[in-house]
Amino acid sequence: MSVTTQRRLPCGVELQAGGVHARVWAPACRRVDLVVEGSGKRHPLVGEPDGHYSAFIEGLGAGTQYRFLLDDDRLRADPCSRYQPDGPHGVSEVVDAWRFAWTDAGWHGIGREGQVIYEMHVGTFTPGRTWRSAADQLSYLADLGITVIEMMPVSDFPGRFGWGYDGVCLYAPCRLYGTPDDLRNFIDRAHALGIGVILDVVYNHLGPDGNYLAEFSPDYFTDKYKNDWGRAVNFEGPAAAREFFVANAGYWIDEFHFDGLRLDATQNIQDGSGEHVLQSIVTRVRAAAGGRRTYVVGESESQDSRLVRSTTEGGFGLDALWNDDFHHTAVVALTGRRQAYYHDYKG
């Protein structure tokens, strides 16, 4: 049987004619098998010279649940799983990322000027705490004059509640809020009302619980740099480690039609490579959007102007920065509190 291995993403399990193609970067492992949940059937993956393991597996399709067996002794979720129905410690599920019937072909994205941005935490926005229930309130936001929703991080995390900043399954929309197609439906309905949607993403660290990346390769992380929330992500190491994060940025734009990203705490995204990873992320976002306009905003504790300078001026090409100086000054003025990072602000 002739099988094409053309993929949308470098890694993960993707549908192809007659089955799925599985690929994972696991140079720390001597053997990797894909194990089908329920039947327990093992499918050995073939090693590649650069530490990837891959195989085409006939007969598997959308809805198949699986995990990777590492070195015959531990089952782990797919690091690039598109859905974790039971959370990060459970099985991964094969997703048909192209079955959703989009209606936003006439949507051209969002520009920089004149936007009214609403920051949304899906888990607290409605009593239903889901993308479906949030979508039912979009007309309310449109009536308020909201033009862009900045959705707080949705990468899956353990437990029942969280702000999203300790995500560990970066490609899997959080199962607490619904399915991947529920998220697509939310964005499609927002676009129908003239509302753009950008996603808050966390590339400066991973959460402490359910983070199994180092078992696939310790090179995902580095001790070269200090980090406020754990081990620093290694953007200077093997290309596959860096690409895991850069590809994730494009994934949200391509498969979910997000209109851009908000990059969390960029002061902890440290990279001495020839091209800074923030520049690579912006480039990938623009490419993934095709002809749609995108909006990439960064958070920087030091208000680093390199983020918004053009690449020809030595910058990274983002569209905007969160104005944390104004925010912190306003908080001190309104509350009188000067603890922690408010200490240097007088109000």
Distance in angstroms (rounded) separating the CA atoms of residues 20 and 155 = 23
- What pLDDT was estimated at residue 195? 99
Identify the three-state secondary structure at position 263.
Answer: strand
Q: Give the CATH number, domain containing residue 244.
A: 3.20.20.80
Q: Using CB atoms within 10 Å of the CB of residue 63, give its burial: 0 to 12 exposed, 13 to 18 middle, 19+ buried.
A: exposed
Q: Are residues 176 and 285 in the same domain?
A: yes
- Residue 2 in domain: no
* Domain count for the chain: 2
pLDDT one-digit tens code per residue, 267-282: 999 999 999 999 999 9
pLDDT one-digit tens code per residue, 205-227: 999 999 999 999 999 999 999 99
- Residue 278 in domain: yes
- What pLDDT was estimated at residue 340? 80
pLDDT one-digit tens code per residue, 315-332: 999 999 998 888 899 999
Q: Are residues 167 and 312 in the same domain?
A: yes
Q: Are residues 138 and 241 in the same domain?
A: yes
**Res 233 pLDDT > 50:** yes
- What pLDDT was estimated at residue 5? 66
Longest dimension (CA), the chain: 70
- Residue 127 in domain: yes
pLDDT one-digit tens code per residue, 112-160: 899 999 999 999 999 999 999 999 999 999 999 999 999 999 999 999 9
**Residue 343 pLDDT grade (very low, low, confident, very high; cuts 50, 70, 90):** confident
**Strands (DSSP E) along 246-328, which ranges?**
260-263, 295-298, 320-321
**Res 65 pLDDT > 50:** yes
- What pLDDT was estimated at residue 117? 97
Tokens 């949940």 belong to which residue? 37
Q: Are 283 and 269 in contact (CB under 8 A)?
A: no
| Average pLDDT over every residue of 60-85 | 99
Q: Are residues 176 and 258 in the same domain?
A: yes
Distances (CA, A) of 143 to 79, 118, 126: 40, 13, 17
Distances (CA, A) of 40 to 8, 21, 32, 253: 27, 18, 14, 35
> What domain range includes position 35?
12-93
- Per-residue burial over 89-126, b if 16 or more Cβ lie within 10 Å, else e, is ebbbbbbebeebeeeeeebebbeeeeeebeebbbbebb
**Catalytic residue list contains 299:** yes
**Res 306 pLDDT > 80:** yes
Cα distance between the two ends of the chain: 69
- Residue 109 in domain: no
Selecting among 33, 259, 264, 271, the annotated active-site residue is 264
Q: Are residues 45 and 174 in the same domain?
A: no
- Residue 132 in domain: yes
Q: Are residues 240 and 320 in the same domain?
A: yes
Q: Are residues 145 and 82 in the same domain?
A: no
Mean pLDDT of the chain: 96
Q: Are residues 59 and 122 in the same domain?
A: no
- What pLDDT was estimated at residue 255? 99
Q: Are residues 200 and 323 in the same domain?
A: yes
Q: Is the model's pTM score more than 0.75?
A: yes
**Res 1 pLDDT > 50:** no
**Catalytic residue list contains 14:** no
Q: Are residues 243 and 125 in the same domain?
A: yes
Selecting among 166, 299, 304, 325, the annotated active-site residue is 299
Q: Are residues 21 and 126 in the same domain?
A: no
Q: Are residues 281 and 171 in the same domain?
A: yes
**Res 3 pLDDT > 60:** no
